[in-house]
Amino acid sequence: MQSMNLLGAKTLFLREVRRFLKVKMQTVVTPALTAFLYLIIFRYAIGDRHVPGMQVDYFTFLMPGLAMMAMLQNAFANTSSSMIMGKVMGMQIYLLMAPLSALEVVSAFLLAAVVRAVVVATVFLAVLMPFVDIGMQHLALIAVYGVCGSMIMGGLGLIGGMWARDFDNVAMVTNFIILPLTFLSGVFYSVKQLPEFWQHINHANPFFYLIDGFRYGFLGVGDTDPYASMAIVIGSAAATFITCWYLWRIGWRMKD
């Protein structure tokens, strides 16, 4: 049985981390600026209005969802951009030839996506925390939903990058799939405010459970039972990882 190439996997992981840290305007400055704009728009435009059915003001309700949305989008961007840049530059063939198994490659890519998501969320929350009274009531839920959500989106970014042939293909996936699903996942509203039909539609959105469970970890309130939803989230993360592993193992669309 072949032993794992831990040094090679670590090297790939560090390459991916250093790659996104070199663009600090995207990974640090932009989330901070975005958080500040949300503060101005929602905090001071809406004031202290409360979410119907919840004893929490609207901006406090909004903040965890915005942080999670930023995590999801950045995790997807990290792996998809790495894959498509490698394809365009003709570099992925060297990664396929490297003495790394599919398990090691996928693990390195997804772990780097999780790190970027955590960095973005930390910067985002650090800017907003002084302006809102919010706690971390369930740290375990925050960790599980944050890591699993980042893994799922990192995996989808990896699959999207393997499928795409150029940057336009990646942009199409981002604009027509990722952005609508994240914006319509209960970030800006409680699904209990919606008509019953649209509540059922919203519950079919997998991102809804990520946003709601993450929010529950901070506020202790949500639209669903986060412990029941955890099985869906962990199962989705596992399924995404296995799919990425299989597609990389067979070199799906990587040798075209």
10-residue mean pLDDT profile of the chain (256 residues): values are 82 94 84 82 74 80 90 94 89 86 96 95 88 85 96 96 92 90 86 84 89 94 90 94 96 82
Residue found under tokens 């409680």: 190
Quick check: is 245 in a domain? yes
Helical ranges in the chain per DSSP H:
6-21, 24, 30-38, 44-46, 58-88, 92-97, 102-128, 139-163, 167-173, 179-183, 196-203, 206-219, 226-250
Tally of domains in the chain: 1
CA distances from 83 to 17, 23, 142, 163, 187 (A): 14, 17, 28, 9, 28
Which pLDDT score, from 0 to 100, does residue 28 have?
Answer: 80
Residue 255 in domain: no
In a domain, 1, yes or no: no
Please check whether residue 239 lies inside any domain of the structure: yes
Residue 256 counted as domain residue: no
Give the pLDDT of residue 160: 95
CA dist 71 and 106 (Å) reads 19
pTM: 0.92
Spatial contact of 136 and 142, defined as CB atoms under 8 Å apart: yes
Per DSSP, 2 falls in state P
Reduce the DSSP state of residue 163 to 3 states and report it.
Answer: helix
Q: What is the pLDDT of residue 2?
A: 60
Residue at token pair 């506020």? 219
- Give the bridge partners for 50, in sequence order: 57
137 to each of 100, 176, 202, 218, 230, how far by Cα in Å? 40, 35, 25, 5, 17
238 is written with which tokens? Answer: 């596992």
Contact of 183 with 44, CB cutoff 8 Å: no
Q: Is 23 part of a structural domain of the chain?
A: yes
Closest by alpha carbon to 185, among 209, 204, 208? Answer: 208
Class of residue 252 by CB neighbours under 10 A (exposed 0-12, middle 13-18, buried 19+) = middle
Confidence at residue 202, expressed as pLDDT on a 0 to 100 scale: 85
Bridge partners, 57 (sequence order) = 50
Structural domain span for residue 14:
6-250
* Whole-number pLDDT of residue 256: 65
